[in-house]
Amino acid sequence: MSRVVTILGSTGSIGKSTLSVISRHTDKYQVRALTANTDVESMTQQCLRWHPQFAVMCDESAAQQLNDVLRKQGSKTEVLSGVQGLCQVASLDDVDTVVAGIVGAAGLLPSLAAAEAGKRILLANKEALVMSGQLFMDAVAKNNAELLPVDSEHNAIFQCMPASNKSAANDAGINKILLTASGGPFRTFTNEQLVSVTSEQAMNHPNWEMGPKISVDSSTLMNKGLEVIEAHWLFGVALDDIEVVVHPQSVIHSMVSYADGSVLAQLGNPDMRTPIAHALAFPDRMVSGVEPLDLFEVAKLEFEKPDFQRFPCLRLCYEAIRMGGTASIILNAANEVAVASFLENKIAYTDIADVIEQSLESMTINEDVTSIESILAADNEARNMANEHIAKKQQL
pLDDT, tens digit (0-9, with 9 covering 90-100), for 225-235: 999 999 999 99
Instruction: Say yes or no to pLDDT of 135 above 70.
Output: yes
pTM of the model: 0.91
Instruction: Say yes or no to pLDDT of 396 above 80.
Output: no
Describe the strand order of the beta sheet including 78-81 as a list of residue ranges.
78-81, 54-57, 29-36, 3-8, 97-100, 120-123, 146-149
* Confidence label for 169 from pLDDT (cuts 50, 70 and 90): low
Q: Looking at the DSSP assignment, which residues form a beta bridge with residue 31?
A: 5
Amino acid (one-letter) located at 56? V
Instruction: Say yes or no to pLDDT of 76 above 90.
Output: yes
pLDDT of residue 170: 58
pLDDT of residue 104: 79
* Mean pLDDT score, 195-214: 82
Better pLDDT: 170 or 121: 121
Better pLDDT: 394 or 257: 257
Whether 265 contacts 255, CB under 8 Å: yes
Instruction: Say yes or no to pLDDT of 209 above 90.
Output: no
Q: Of 76, 83, 95, which Cα lies nearest the Cα of 58?
A: 83
Domains of the chain: 3-149 (3.40.50.720), 157-268+277-298 (no CATH), 312-395 (1.10.1740.10)
Distance CA 395, CA 15 (A): 39
Interacting residues of 279 by C-beta distance below 8 A, sequence separation 6+: 122, 148, 149, 150, 155
* Mean pLDDT score, 51-66: 96
Instruction: Say yes or no to pLDDT of 40 above 70.
Output: yes
The whole-chain average pLDDT of the chain stands at 93
Rg of the chain over Cα atoms, rounded to whole angstroms, equals 20
Distance CA 190, CA 196 (A): 11
Instruction: Say yes or no to pLDDT of 208 above 80.
Output: no
**Lowest mean pLDDT, pick from 170-179, 267-276, 323-332:** 170-179
Q: What is the pLDDT of residues 268-305, one digit of tens each?
A: 999 999 999 999 999 999 999 999 999 999 888 999 99
Q: What is the pLDDT of residues 376-395, one digit of tens each?
A: 999 999 999 999 999 998 88
pLDDT of residue 171: 65
pLDDT of residue 127: 82
139: left (phi over 0), alpha (psi -120 to 50) or beta: alpha
